[in-house]
């Protein structure tokens, strides 16, 4: 957990940026060899693009930075359990491990609606770790409360 | 089928462009109100990006063109059964229907490895139609034969 904390802190900072833009507050970062390769936050509404989840934007940036489609040995930290699109993207990018800090009961594809990374039918093996972090769920609760009010 | 043929023809043309770039030959187009909104082909290797499947690039372009994340009433034509990432992206973009013309036994998420669009657990409802087209499977067979040789 201590090793992960500094990276989770950065993902939380990204989620806060999304909240400021009135986006669902989700942040993601990609780490390789102990270094942060890319950071991103959800920009689905502000950039008018269905694909612009934090995880997708972080993968996009990491591929551009490293000039490769293969992010072997990379770890993706995300404040919210990834959806089907994002778990699929993680496998396509050959990311080694995903760490997430809040569950998404409605659309999560790691532990909630689907358990994609546990599925041995699929050709790519991705490790994952759920490290609950209150800041991540609090940001989401705040956002949805504001939306209802 | 006759209605679909002209759109499938365009998707096949896109797949041929991918083949010329030594990419897995997959093409996709998005149609709304009977008009083609975007066309794309797989560029994963040539553009060094894990996300650049034909379907993802077609959705990206369509969102940019229509300046919205919601592609309601749009139909995505793709030469190959979409993977988990791409079926997830289709749902995120609220695409109404997917037409595909070859099955992907190894990674397809509509009829093969997963049946995502049949899953009533998920909040978004996507129609689909499998219209086999020999050109699509032939292009793929050619590509993989060349790869083995």
Question: ipTM of this model?
Answer: 0.94
Q: What is the pLDDT of residues B26-76, one digit of tens each?
A: 999 999 999 999 999 999 999 999 999 999 999 999 999 999 999 999 999
CB burial readout A21-46, b (16+ within 10 A) else e: eebbbbbbbbbbeeebbbbbbbbbee
Contacts of A91 in chain B (CB under 8 A): 84-85
B91 in A contact zone (CB under 8 Å): yes
Q: Inter-chain contact A85–B91, Cβ cutoff 8 Å? A: yes
Q: State the nearest Cα–Cα gap between B51 and chain A, in angstroms.
A: 6
A111 in B contact zone (CB under 8 Å): no
pLDDT at B120 over 70: yes
What is the model's pLDDT at position A149?
A: 87
Enumerate the active-site residues of B.
55
What is the model's pLDDT at position B51?
A: 97
At A130, is the secondary structure helix, strand, or coil?
A: strand
Residue B73 sits at φ, ψ, to 5 deg, of: 65, 5
What is the model's pLDDT at position B68?
A: 97
User: Which segments of B are annotated as binding site for Zn(2+)?
Assistant: 53, 83, 86
In tens digits, chain A (149 residues) has pLDDT values of 689 999 999 999 999 999 999 999 999 999 999 999 999 999 999 999 999 999 999 999 999 999 999 999 999 999 999 999 999 999 999 999 999 999 999 999 999 999 999 998 777 889 999 999 999 999 999 999 988 98
What is the model's pLDDT at position B2?
A: 82
CATH of domain A4-137: 3.40.140.10
For residue A38, the cross-strand partners are A30
pLDDT at B146 over 90: no
Work out the angle between the directed axes of helices A84-92 and A54-66 (0-180°, nearest 10).
20
pLDDT classification of B8: cutoffs 50, 70, 90: very high
Provide, rounded to the nearest whole percent, the portion of chain B with pLDDT above 70.
Answer: 99
Q: Inter-chain contact A92–B50, Cβ cutoff 8 Å? A: yes
Across B2-145, where does the E strand assignment appear? 27-32, 35-41, 75-78, 97-100, 127-130
pLDDT at B149 over 80: yes
């Amino acid at each position: 957990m201590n090793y992960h904390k500094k990276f989770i802190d950065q993902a939380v900072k990204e989620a806060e940026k999304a909240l400021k833009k009135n986006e669902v507050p989700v942040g993601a970062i990609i780490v390789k060899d102990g270094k942060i390769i890319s950071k991103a936050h959800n920009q689905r509404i502000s950039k008018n693009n269905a694909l612009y989840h934090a995880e997708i934007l972080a993968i996009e940036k990491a591929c551009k930075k490293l000039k490769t489609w293969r992010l072997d040995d990379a770890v993706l930290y995300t404040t919210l359990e990834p959806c089907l699109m994002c778990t699929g993207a993680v496998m396509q990018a050959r990311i080694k491990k995903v760490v997430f800090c809040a569950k998404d009961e409605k659309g999560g594809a790691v532990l909630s609606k689907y358990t994609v990374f546990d599925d041995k039918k699929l050709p790519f093996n991705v490790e994952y770790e759920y490290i609950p972090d209150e800041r991540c769920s609090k940001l989401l609760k705040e956002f949805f409360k504001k939306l209802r009010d």
